[in-house]
Amino acid sequence: MPTNSDLFDPAQMTLADPYGGLQPYRCSEFGHTCQGQSPPHDLPVGVDTLALDNCASAEDGVRLSRVSDFVDFLKRLKPDDPDRIFVSALAGPPVPYVVGKKAFETVSGVPEMQPTLWPSCVGAGGESGYPSVRVKNWLDSFALNAVLESVCANDFVKVLTQLASSAGVGHANCIQGTVATRNDGVPDCQVVELLFGDSGAFIDHEIPICDIHQSNFPCWKLSTSFICLSGPKFQVCHDPTCSPVVNQPDTEDIFVSCSLRPPC
């Protein structure tokens, strides 16, 4: 939030105050827009729930920081290589977005029925996730390099494995440019794996290019992919399927060096 924002003013606790109750709904009312309008300060008389559609971040930057500022910050870290930025989140689904009512304590000690967001998901153990509108807008800014998983999932091991697998599929493994070839037609690349040996020292191990059957693993290959818009996708294969390997405790890092053909 901006340093001069007073959105969390603790002196405001009732619906008569501009910010309403001192509870998370403030971030919804002043941080979201739904069909171009702010969520209601209060529900109409006789209305207990109100479903809203097409909710997005309110990007005025007055009370909450703009999501676009966080996006711009991250993209500036890799201005010439956006494929090397991968983002993910465990959060509540952005829909359904339903405003309800709940009793909250006020400064007088008398409870007041105030608007609140209903959970957009509930886990098997009763855990709740709330509409992550701003988080979803942030993720959408990174297109194919972003994954959103529900915080209400029953198995976090499975979810985290999926996130790690998504990162390893090749979002960040794009080579920018056209790779030159040697006289035998093989891509002019050298791939070195840095292994942690039994003696405690690091060992360099050169990885060969994959044969036609990808049976000489570990091996590497280049391929075209819709994920990589500026050059080929680089992969290291540890089995014939070349599926991503999430856990490699004995591997410290992999270094890739390729000669590129000059642009026309």
Q: What is the pTM of this model?
A: 0.63
Q: For 135-184, what is each residue's pLDDT tens digit?
A: 999 999 987 778 888 899 887 776 676 566 655 544 457 888 889 999 99
Tokens 């993910």 -> residue: 88
Establish whether the linkage from the previous residue to 263 is cis, with ω within 30° of 0: no
Q: For 3-43, what is each residue's pLDDT tens digit?
A: 999 999 999 999 999 999 999 999 999 999 999 999 999 99
Rounded CA separation 65/5 (Å): 9
Evaluate whether 218 touches 248 at the Cβ level (below 8 Å): no
Tokens 């909250």 -> residue: 104
Rounded CA separation 247/165 (Å): 10
Rounded CA separation 182/264 (Å): 19
Rounded CA separation 108/158 (Å): 47
Which pLDDT band, with edges at 50, 70 and 90, does 202 fall under? low
How would you classify the pairing of strands 128-129 and 121-122? antiparallel
How would you classify the pairing of strands 146-150 and 87-91? parallel
What pLDDT does 236 receive?
87
